[in-house]
């Protein structure tokens, strides 16, 4: 079974309205409030595909209670660590031309809360794969993510990482099964651009040399992605345009869709990339995860090719 860890969850407030004007109040046209967090999004997306998972994380206050309740209402299993403080609220504002995100830091951790999570990992049954996604809360121990990987791998679980911090590079030596950076994160973490096939080859080799087994590299609004298993590299591109409503959740659902097809069948890269690209595009056209209503249609309009070896 998949487990997901969202160490720093949030209630996402997504607002649509007119152009923002400095020092002026702007009346929104609509607003929605959703339980969110990168690992939680993976669990939610898997559930939409009919796959159960267990969502782990730290939750506090009225917002934390709301997220846990919404997670269970969506049919996902959840083993929360309850903490003092209030789980953060993050705001995303779309003025019809641009999207703005205001991400709050979150409630701080203590060693006691971390130990509670480690105990959950140590006593979890059927944990085949742990997906660790998103930011780390304030005051987390410096080795918090190292400990998470150690406890999961001690149980025989694979670990998938979707992290935007340079901590990803140091964790590579622990040989995660898969990492999923976007093009900005790949450049910032490994110090190389990924604008061309040759640059991608260099970046992928660097990641594998650090210890990463597999890499799924997404490039956001460009509508394409690369996957490398250390021997071959595949390139996928969607052959259609979308109208962006919100990019929130899109990358997380891309990862969930990829794992759905690839985790049990490592040779099924082409179908996994098609479903991943289609899912990410469909979600980007919605507030939150949407209904996945066009995933099958979009999958047929994604092309995948294998790069020539050099």
- Note the pLDDT of residue 57: 98
Distance of alpha carbon 123 from the chain centroid: 24
CA distance linking residue 46 with residue 207, whole number of Å: 27
Is the per-residue pLDDT at 144 higher than 80?
yes
Q: What is the CATH number of domain 1-21+29-162?
A: 3.40.1190.20
- At residue 4, the pLDDT reads 98
Q: Based on the residue annotation, tell me whether 158 is a catalytic residue of this protein.
A: no
Q: Is the pLDDT of residue 302 over 80?
A: yes
From 237, 218, 127, 219, select the one nearest 178 (Cα to Cα): 218
Task: Please report, for the chain, the start and end positions of each structural domain, with discontinuous segments joined by +.
Answer: 1-21+29-162, 174-309
Assess whether pLDDT exceeds 80 at residue 53. yes
**Fold match between domain 1-21+29-162 and domain 174-309:** yes
CATH number, domain 174-309: 3.40.1190.20
Average pLDDT score, the chain: 94
DSSP string, the chain: -EEEEESS-EEEEEEE-S---TTS----SEEEEEEE-HHHHHHHHHHHTT--EEEEEEE-HHHHHHHHHHHHHTT-EEEEEE-SS--EEEEEEE-SS-EEEE----PPP-HHHHHHHHHHHHH-SS--EEEEES---TT--TTHHHHHHHHHHHTT-EEEEE--STHHHHHGGG--SEE--BHHHHHHHHS---SSHHHHHHHHHHHHHHT-SEEEEE-GGG-EEEEE-SS-EEEEEESS----S--TTHHHHHHHHHHHHHSS-TT-HHHHHHHHHHHHHHHHTSSTT---TTHHHHHTTEEEEEPPP-
Predicted pLDDT of residue 243: 85
Kindly tell me if the per-residue pLDDT of 76 is higher than 80.
yes
Q: List pLDDT tens digits, range 151-166.
A: 999 999 999 999 987 7
Catalytic residue (choose from 41, 158, 224, 252): 252
Residue 254 confidence (pLDDT) above 80 = yes
Residues 199-210 pLDDT 10s: 999 999 999 999
Q: What is the mean pLDDT of residues 232-236?
A: 98
pLDDT value for 307: 93
Q: Model confidence at 288, in pLDDT bands (50, 70, 90)?
A: confident
Task: State residue 189's pLDDT score.
Answer: 86
Q: What is the pLDDT of residues 172-202, one digit of tens each?
A: 999 999 999 999 999 988 888 999 999 999 9
């Amino acid at each position: 079974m998949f487990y997901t860890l969202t160490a720093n969850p949030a209630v996402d407030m997504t607002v649509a309205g007119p152009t923002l004007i400095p020092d002026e109040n702007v009346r929104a046209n609509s607003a929605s409030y959703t339980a969110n967090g990168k690992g939680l999004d993976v669990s939610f997306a898997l559930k939409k595909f009919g796959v159960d998972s267990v969502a782990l994380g730290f939750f506090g206050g009225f917002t934390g209670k709301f997220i846990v309740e919404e997670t269970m209402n969506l049919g996902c299993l959840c083993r929360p660590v309850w903490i003092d403080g209030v789980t953060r609220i993050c705001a995303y504002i779309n003025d019809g031309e641009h999207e703005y995100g205001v991400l709050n830091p979150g409630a701080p951790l203590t060693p006691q809360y971390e130990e509670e999570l480690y105990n959950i990992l140590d006593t979890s049954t059927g944990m085949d794969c742990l997906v660790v996604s998103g930011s780390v809360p304030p005051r987390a121990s410096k080795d918090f993510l190292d400990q998470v990987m150690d406890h999961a791998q001690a149980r025989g679980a694979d670990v998938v990482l979707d992290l935007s911090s340079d901590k990803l590079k140091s964790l590579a030596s622990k040989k995660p099964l898969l990492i999923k950076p976007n093009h900005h994160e790949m450049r910032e973490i490994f110090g190389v651009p990924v604008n061309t096939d040759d640059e991608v080859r260099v970046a992928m080799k660097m990641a594998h040399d650090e210890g990463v087994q597999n890499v799924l590299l997404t490039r956001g609004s460009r509508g394409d992605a690369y996957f490398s298993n250390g021997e071959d590299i595949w390139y996928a591109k969607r052959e259609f345009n979308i109208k962006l409503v919100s990019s929130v959740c899109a990358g997380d659902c891309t990862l969930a869709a990829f794992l759905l097809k690839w985790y049990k069948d490592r040779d099924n890269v082409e179908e996994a990339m098609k479903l991943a690209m289609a899912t990410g595009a469909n979600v980007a056209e919605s507030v939150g995860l949407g209904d996945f209503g066009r995933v099958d249609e979009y999958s047929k309009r994604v092309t995948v090719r294998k790069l020539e070896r050099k």
